[in-house]
Amino acid sequence: MLPPAEELSISELQSGQATGRFSAVSITRKYLDRIEKIDRGGPNLRSVIELNPDALDIARALDRERKSGRVRGPLHGIPVLIKDNIDTHDRMTCTAGSLALVGWRPRKDAFLVKKLRDAGAVILGKTNLSEWANFRGSRSTSGWSARGGLTRNPCVLDRNPSGSSSGSAVAVAANLCAVAVGTETNGSIVSPSSFCGIVGVKPTVGLVSRAGIIPIAKSQDTAGPMARSVRDAAILLGCLAEIDPQDPAGTAGLKPPGDFKTPPDYTRALDPEGLRGARIGIARKYFHGHPAVRAVQEKAVQALQSAGAIPVDPVEIPKLANSYELMLWEFKAGLNDYLSGLGPDAPVKSLKELIEFNQRNREEELRWFGQEILIEAETKGPLTDSKYLETLEACRKSSREQGLDSLMQEHRLDAVMAPTTGPAHVTDFVYGDRDTGGSSSPAAMAGYPSITLPAGFVQELPVGISFFGRAWSEALLLRLAYAFEQATMHRRPPGFLDTL
């Protein structure tokens, strides 16, 4: 049987199933027991917003398949949690944490959910998130949704988990699942991963289908893996990756390599010597804030050198255009398209109806902060508007050809390294989130990939570093991150401290 607090990898869980030490049922049951014990009781993490009532039945079916000689793929019998803005066609709902969609069940699986099922995953449940992926109002508190309440950071419970993929990060860190899926527009995978001390991958926009995911901005949205190790993140990414012709946003203008036909096995890129000879640009503009954070980052640069990398120090990332207006346009268009497709029985069918619902239910929905962003988005016109098209062009140009592409070509870089965030701030419902610094914007705006992993601690709070680079460079970034991980081994289980 699986010890409830043991942090086993996907490979160890697969090996245990192959030898008969574990079964999909025993693994699933232990994770369900652990969720009951520490997510809904004990520390009361509130990272899981809904459990799949069919999880054990799915696990039993997968055990029968294994006994008959069929193993679906790398995730056969592996419990996975997914963010509550990703559609599943089962007995679970999809609400983005909002009371406006409570009770509504999607009519089909998101493309990536079908990929997970094909790979043999046990969809264990849905994770809590910053409501509407933290695109609702000013002074918001990450990790809170009206439906799910407040997700707590398992490292120090009065600290914030960041967002918007709060529940996915917390569940992985607290060992409530093997791996989880989050989504990001700008920072929503990498920031909570850094705050909670895990690995997070934001892929190139278009590598993982967005079909069936509640949107924010089609030019930046993507789903991605969240895991306790780089290897597990690589395995999960390989199961999620596939260019989807039905993705309504295509690839945000990013054409995949000509030889990209089937999803690669990203684990083949993992090499403990993978940093040797790599030219890594050190983005010093993000080395600010608390002196203890800067000390962690300086040690990270030293670790790169010790592992044989060539730090190019410093490199200057050019100034980015302001993408907020772009996101408002795309949010209105994308959300209206998503909600209008839910069918005649859906509780709300447009952004306008959502705003009205929140006003009618303000005691629950608007208790801590407002919906100024939703109201501002509602004023925007169609995506054919010339101002939108000009803003889109400015954002792409500043982040791509005049941004990362130019920077990496000038310095002949394999990747850029920067601190992901500072340490987690105390949760505050009065003032909302506190800016602890972050480096997610260059890759997010460009639609390019980034990966974060633990780099050290400030007291008991983890701090991550990010590697980011050119479009479709996931294999390279995973190789670099894996080599850094193996050289430093900073990951450690959370302490569940009440406070510092």
- Residue with tokens 């290897």, as numbered in its chain: 231
Contact indicator for 452, 464 with CB cutoff of 8 Å: yes
- Tell me the C-alpha distance between 219 and 251, whole Å: 8
Per-state percent for the chain, helix, strand, coil, to nearest 5: 40, 15, 50
- Cis before 245 (ω within 30): no
Contact indicator for 165, 83 with CB cutoff of 8 Å: yes
Contact indicator for 392, 439 with CB cutoff of 8 Å: no
**Nearest CA-CA partner of 499 in 75, 191, 153, 241:** 153
Report the alpha-carbon angle 44-46-50, nearest 5: 130
- Tell me the C-alpha distance between 483 and 417, whole Å: 14
Contact indicator for 143, 161 with CB cutoff of 8 Å: yes
Does residue 145 have an active-site annotation? no
- Tell me the C-alpha distance between 466 and 184, whole Å: 15
- Residue with tokens 């799949």, as numbered in its chain: 52
Catalytic position from the list 188, 323, 439, 473: 188
Does residue 219 have an active-site annotation? no
Residue 258 identity (one-letter amino acid)? G
Catalytic position from the list 30, 83, 115, 126: 83
Does residue 164 have an active-site annotation? yes
Catalytic position from the list 164, 209, 440, 473: 164
- Tell me the C-alpha distance between 205 and 286, whole Å: 23
Residue 361 half-sphere exposure, CB side, CA atoms within 13 Å? 14
- Tell me the C-alpha distance between 90 and 106, whole Å: 8
As annotated, the active-site residues are 83, 164, 188
